[in-house]
Amino acid sequence: MIFSRTATAVVTTLAAAAMLAACGGGNSNSSSSSTGASPAASAGNGGNTKSSGTQVKQLNPLHKLHNAMSNKVLNINMGAMNGSKQDGTASIGAKGDGVQVTVHLNNEPKGASEPSHIHQGTCTKLNPAPWKLLKNVVGGTATTFVPGVTIAELKKAHYAINVHKSANDLKTYVSCGDITP
């Protein structure tokens, strides 16, 4: 009977600790510190420090799982540009020794073939030279495997997925989405 109560108390305590740790920090961003600390510990939360003032390294399995998942897929909102009405989404998923980029656009003109690229910078301050070429968006969709690129690399700097009106009109952007670090 005593063993049963002790086991129940331990399980209850561990479950409560996991729930509290999962809620800590209130940050829904997928970024994480390199130490594996929870967002609350990374923010220097006074309740998460030793008496010496040193931060406690919290190893929350739910936080680690969230970060592992966020390192496998990035979801991007694509915004219409230059009156094109071509908004949509893009996703970047880890695949083998690279990433697979899928772009979905709404309202693409019938019969269009629109070049798409990953550019350095952001949609508001884009390096005009493509960093990585993607397949043309045709029928509203393009899927491209990009070897030698990781999600971690994309999250370290500013990049954007940009879609151009046509091969003959690369200066007119019809849709763009920031890949935020």
Given a cut of 80, whether residue 165 has pLDDT beyond it is yes
Q: Domains in the chain, ordered, with CATH?
A: 2-70 (no CATH), 73-179 (2.60.40.200)
Q: Bigger pLDDT: 10 or 145?
A: 145
pLDDT at 112: 97
85-92: average pLDDT: 98
pLDDT at 83: 96
Q: Model's pTM, two decimal places?
A: 0.62
Summarised one tens digit per residue, pLDDT across range 89-135 is 999 999 999 999 999 999 999 999 999 999 999 999 999 999 999 99
Residue 112 in tokens: 């269009």
Question: Burial, 33: exposed, middle or buried (Cβ in 10 Å; 0-12, 13-18, 19+)?
Answer: middle
Quick one: CA dihedral 80, 86, 87, 92, positive or negative? negative
22-51: average pLDDT: 36
pLDDT at 180: 79
